Structure 1
Amino acid sequence: MRTLARWMLAGGMVFAGLSHLFWARKEFQAQVPDLITEVLPIDKDGVVVASGAVEMMLGAALVVLPKERRRVGLILAGFFLAIFPGNIAQAMDKRPAFGLDNDTARWARLAFQPLLVAWALWSTRD
């Protein structure tokens, strides 16, 4: 069961990473907090591309590095925590993206981030 969950998470991560690079770049830019581009020398598109590359690498690592799955799971959980402020910024700034065009939808989405963290940790346990 954990193997199936891990492989599903891996596929989802690779798919999400590809979407960052190709068909959903504008939507993902809505999730980048303004503070990031004010503090770091990178624009929102650069953040989206970089996070997409990281998502693809983590997704692939879940499959191709079975001996490191626990470590990869911890890194992935940390990644999900690191991007959470972007989801909060999208909700607070009322930025529509991915069909999240009202406050209820944007705030409800935040409830799923802890589930992703739990999924990453559970599916990579020994």
Structure 2
Amino acid sequence: MTDSRPRRIARAVLALAYLIAGFAHLRSPGGFIAITPSWVPYPATVVALTGIAEIAGATGLMIPPLRRAAGMGLALYALCVWPANFNHAINDIALGGVHLGRWYHGPRLTLQPILIWWALWASGTIDWPFPRRR
């Protein structure tokens, strides 16, 4: 698989986003705990672990021998936290007293599969939908 300039940029942007999100999970977990579905045990611990997972994934994306594993891990991570996003939307959970509404939740829920694809593509795990260069 080619490591094109667009893929390198996508990888750096994704790593930065996950690094920021990971530290946010650790620094200010309240909002993340609030949107965690009730069936998730030990939500504070889970939120802390997700922050650590995001930081580890972001770091792994930037280390070539770990890149593919990090991409697969972040894709799986994005899939696993999707229920929290649905919980946030369906139950209209206010964060900081603010109800975000469908204009936030609609795009947020719709873009989650793109975030999954992005982790896989940026890590070089997949090339789809771009043809391989030879």
Pairwise same-fold verdict (TM > 0.5): yes
Q: Percent identity?
A: 30
Find out whether 1:28 has 2:29 as its counterpart: no
Aligned length: 119
Gapped runs of 5+ residues in structure 2? 1-5, 126-134
Residue 22 of structure 2 is matched in structure 1 by: 17
Q: What do the CA deviations read for 1:56-104 (whole angstroms, capped 9, x no partner)?
A: 11111111x2123222211211111011111111111111238652244
Of residues 77, 80, 98 in structure 2, which corresponds to 1:79?
77
Q: What is the TM-score with the length of structure 1 in the denominator? A: 0.84
Bigger-Rg structure (1/2): 2
CA-atom RMSD, angstroms? 1.8
Q: Does the residue aligned with 2:39 lie in a helix, a strand or coil?
A: helix
Task: Indicate the structure with greater helix content.
Answer: 1
State whether residues 28 and 97 of structure 1, in contact with CA within 8 Å, keep that contact through their aligned partners in structure 2. no
Q: Where do residues 56-75 of structure 1 align in structure 2 (5 Å cutoff)?
A: 56-63=55-62, 65-75=63-73
Q: Structure 2 vs 1, CA of residues 66 and 46 (structure 1 numbering), >3 Å: closer, same or farther?
A: same
Q: Does the residue aligned with 1:50 lie in a helix, a strand or coil?
A: helix
State whether residues 92 and 99 of structure 2, in contact with CA within 8 Å, keep that contact through their aligned partners in structure 1. no
State whether residues 25 and 45 of structure 1, in contact with CA within 8 Å, keep that contact through their aligned partners in structure 2. yes
Gapped runs of 5+ residues in structure 1? none
Q: What is the TM-score with the length of structure 2 in the denominator? A: 0.80
